[in-house]
Amino acid sequence: MSFGRVNWEVCPWKNHKVLFFIEIKGNLFFFVEKNKLKKLFGDLKMDIKNLTIEQIKQLVKNKEGEKIGREELDLLDEMKKDSRKGVKRLARWYDNKIQEIKRENRRLMLLTRYENSLWEQGYRYIAGVDEAGRGPLAGPVVAAAVILPRGVKIRDLDDSKKLTPEKREELYQIIHQQALSINYAVVDNNYIDEHNIYNATLHAMKTAVEGLSIKPEYLLVDGIKLKTSIPHKSIVGGDGRSASIAAASIIAKVVRDRIMLDLHNRYPQYRFDKHKGYPTREHIELVKQHGFSPIHRKSFKIR
């Protein structure tokens, strides 16, 4: 967006997308599409001297986003020049916000380094693959596969273990909105007991990949080498080093947590809502007290 002071009488605003306007002492301030504003009036220098602090706050709010360009920096510069203490405080906050966004953009650029390299090599559909639930004493192991579009940036995307449950749920929805294809597979405790957790994890990952609506051309897998004809790379700690794997880790974790909450309703005495089946001290004590439930992994030793 561009900010400029224009005359209502000469502005054919009805023919252009006016985002909003402010009237100050008889002057109308329009926020319209940048290219349209340039065609109509040329480049207009930002001027905030006649704006109240509340109006500047609104202006800053409307510019919040992941992109930091010339307009955002020009606004910050004008705020720093303003003599009002309230504007200077707002400028310090906005400066910190801009630096935070820059840091997050750099982090996300680093997080997509594997995907960017593969996209540059001509691969279009790169699936990240990860699992949740290898370590618990109860419940299934869940694997997910996610194909993200080229150039996507999902703010706060990271290893699911580093995120709060609320942030995982939020990102779960965003990933579903932006991903080209998502699939997950659930392998229960009986399969785990029969085939062991490693083979159960491989089976879940393979099933998740095969069920994608788009056939992947390359796989980025968290820490495990899959037996597949699809070109792939195993990345140790991949859920914190690859955007696609991070997305898969969030999908797998949210799906499994929801399953464990449902199992808590069926077996409330084990408190699966708290530990999700992992071997916490409380969980181990409850197993010793009540014995194994039908969804416990009998092949796992409890100490």
pLDDT per residue as tens digits for the range 14-24: 444 444 444 44
* Cα torsion 287, 291, 295, 301: sign: positive
As a whole number, the mean pLDDT across the chain is 85
210-221 residue pLDDT tens: 999 999 999 999
Q: Which residue has the tokens 């014995």?
A: 291
Tens digits of residue pLDDT in 63-117: 666 667 777 777 788 888 888 888 888 888 888 888 888 888 899 999 999 999 9
DSSP string over 34-91: HHHHHHHH-------TTS-HHHHHHHHHHT-SS---HHHHHHHHHHHH---HHHHHHH
Least confident of 55-64, 118-127, 156-165, 194-203: 55-64
Using 50, 70 and 90 to split pLDDT, how confident is the model at 297? very high
Spatial separation of the C-alpha atoms in residues 236 and 222, rounded to whole Å: 6
Stretch 50-64: mean pLDDT, rounded? Answer: 76
Query: Which residue type sits at 73?
Result: L
Say what the pTM is: 0.77
| Structural domains present in the chain | 2-111 (no CATH), 114-290 (3.30.420.10)
Distance of alpha carbon 27 from the chain centroid: 41
